[in-house]
Amino acid sequence: MPQYKMYIDGKWTGSKKTFSSLNPATEKVIGHFSSANEKDVEMAVNAAEYAQKKWAEVPAPKKGEILLIIAQLLRQNKERLARIETTEMGKVLKEARGDVQEAIDITEYMAGEGRRLFGHTTPSELRNKFAMTIRIPVGVVGLITPWNFPIAIPAWKIMPALICGNSILFKPSSDTPLCAIELVKIIEQSGVPKGVVNLLTGPADPVGTTIVKHEKIRAISFTGNRATGESILKNAGIKKIGLELGGKNAIIVMDDAKLDLALEGVIWGAFGTTGQRCTACSRVILHKKISDKFTRMLLEKTKKLRLGNGLNPNVDVGPLVNKAALEKVHTYTEVGLDEEAKLLCGGKRHGKKGFFYEPTIFKNVTKDMRIAQEEIFGPVLSVIEVKNFDEAIDVMNDIEYGLSSAIYTQDVNRAFLAIKHIEAGITYINSSTIGAESHLPFGGVKHSGTTREAGILGIDEFSEVKTVFIDYSGKLQRATIDE
């Protein structure tokens, strides 16, 4: 059985304590992985602190050239990485390829930021005085990433952190450590100096908690569940905190929508990645005039979805990531039945081997039910019927989250009203709730998080803004004081 190591100060380092990663489709062990402790974190922090000072001195365009090498290596290894991801995480192969492509896209985008990293110039209120802002590195940053996009999400954090001149402690999910190792191996090949990127595998405690609390780590970027995000806020101390904490996303289908188009979007949003996306559609809000017809269409198409190992090109839906996820999803099925929602299909485990769960649809769901309020993170969809557009917006917004949203309508006025009134960081018109692009900001409002990743705002997360004044008047000028 393969034994995998951590990466600290440019060296692959093992540990006495290990843990296993499973293939969720077969439940077979993929390998054994080093489990870091507090001393390992301290070693990584010291290495990162030393390396960061030198890395910050490398001109940003030169850093960009290194990122382009990473992008090229990712492209060369795309199929290999995708197959590893499908084996370790479970998503179907075409989606795993998309995950690697997202990593390529963000790496190329952030390489371009090496020739921008824009500040601002602005007029001073005084004569013969110049005013501007510049970006400077934060320092040592801690990146804690989830299992559902085990290559893309780390890349969304690592690449802007690198281009801004930071050094990194990278702690991936223990469900997908092999994907993280393969990504770091590519970074290592690119020429990033030793100590700049450090990989620590192992459990949230002690690895994640030690990173969060460490005084020398000046920023934390975390993607995961809300409870962990709240814990980070309580324990991190005074440092930059970026949190992406999930959603309870909905698609509105109005009475004038193109139903075939909306059907594709709902199926993709609800059951793509087996519903294991923070942007997954877990609620579909249907206008009463088309509700029955659309629900019949939805049920017919859902029943045709094929479950199985994601490496099989004929499979539509892969497994859930682990046994705990399987049990959680089934618990919510029981909650829905207890709440007297009507189960139309699914609601049970599929097969005897692997963590497969049938795509599940509930009808007669009201907006206050738990299955309509809480993030399930699995292939469970709630159908909610509404009388009109205003009620649809009310149902859409009556949740604690605000990440992604969508509406299908042919009325341009409704579309713009939806853009205005939906409480979410992302709104799609006539498309599903999933499908982020690397050059645009990604993130939510309310309990969905505190930050925006990707695009120019991805630079904001990993840089500090310094204001600079240059007075060339030759005399002391007192700003904001009347002479």
Q: What is the 3-state secondary structure (H, E, C) of 251-299?
A: EEECCCCCHHHHHHHHHHHHHHHHHCCCCCEEEEEEEHHHHHHHHHHHH
Residue 112: C-alpha distances to residues 52, 101, 186 (Å): 21, 17, 19
Same domain, 130 and 12: yes
Site of tokens 């992008």: 71
Same domain, 149 and 284: no
CA–centroid distance for 102 within its chain: 11
Nearest residue to 241 (alpha-carbon basis) of 144, 133, 113, 135: 144
Nearest residue to 409 (alpha-carbon basis) of 202, 258, 195: 258
Tell me whether residue 443 is in a domain: no
Residue 288 has phi, psi (to 5 degrees) of: -60, -30
The domain in which residue 348 lies consists of: 249-429
Q: Which residues face 13 on adjacent strands?
A: 6
Angle at 262 between CA 259 and CA 268, to 5 degrees: 140
Strands (E), 124-180: 129-137, 140-144, 167-171
The enclosing domain of 54 has a CATH number of 3.40.605.10
Same domain, 212 and 329: no
The enclosing domain of 286 has a CATH number of 3.40.309.10
Residues assigned a catalytic role = 244, 278
Same domain, 190 and 276: no
Buried-exposed string 258-289: b where 16+ CB fall within 10 A, e elsewhere: eeeebbebbbbbbbbbbbbbbbbbbbbbbbee
Residue 167: per-residue pLDDT: 98
Same domain, 211 and 276: no
Tell me whether residue 261 is in a domain: yes
Q: pTM of the entire structure?
A: 0.96
Residue 130 has phi, psi (to 5 degrees) of: -115, 140
Tell me whether residue 233 is in a domain: yes
Domain final residue pick, 401, 429, 457: 429
Site of tokens 């705002």: 457
CB 174 within 8 A of CB 200: no
Nearest residue to 357 (alpha-carbon basis) of 338, 376, 383: 376
Tell me whether residue 482 is in a domain: no
Regions of the chain where pLDDT drops below 50: none
Nearest-angstrom CA–CA distance, 192 and 190: 6
Nearest residue to 268 (alpha-carbon basis) of 403, 433, 436, 102: 433
pLDDT in tens, 335-357: 999 999 999 999 999 999 999 99
Same domain, 210 and 253: no
Residue 478: per-residue pLDDT: 84
pLDDT in tens, 146-174: 999 999 999 999 999 999 999 999 999 99
129-137 and 463-471 strand pairing: antiparallel
Same domain, 220 and 316: no
Residue 482: per-residue pLDDT: 59
Q: Max Cα separation, the chain?
A: 83
Q: Which residues face 177 on adjacent strands?
A: none
Tell me whether residue 444 is in a domain: no
Tell me whether residue 441 is in a domain: no
Nearest-angstrom CA–CA distance, 285 and 391: 10
Same domain, 234 and 256: no
Tell me whether residue 437 is in a domain: no
Same domain, 199 and 279: no
Nearest residue to 241 (alpha-carbon basis) of 155, 149, 138, 163: 138
Tell me whether residue 138 is in a domain: yes
Residue 454 has phi, psi (to 5 degrees) of: 70, 170
Same domain, 172 and 211: yes
Same domain, 425 and 453: no
Same domain, 278 and 206: no
Number of domains forming the structure of the chain: 2
Can you tell me whether residue 69 is helix, strand or coil?
A: helix
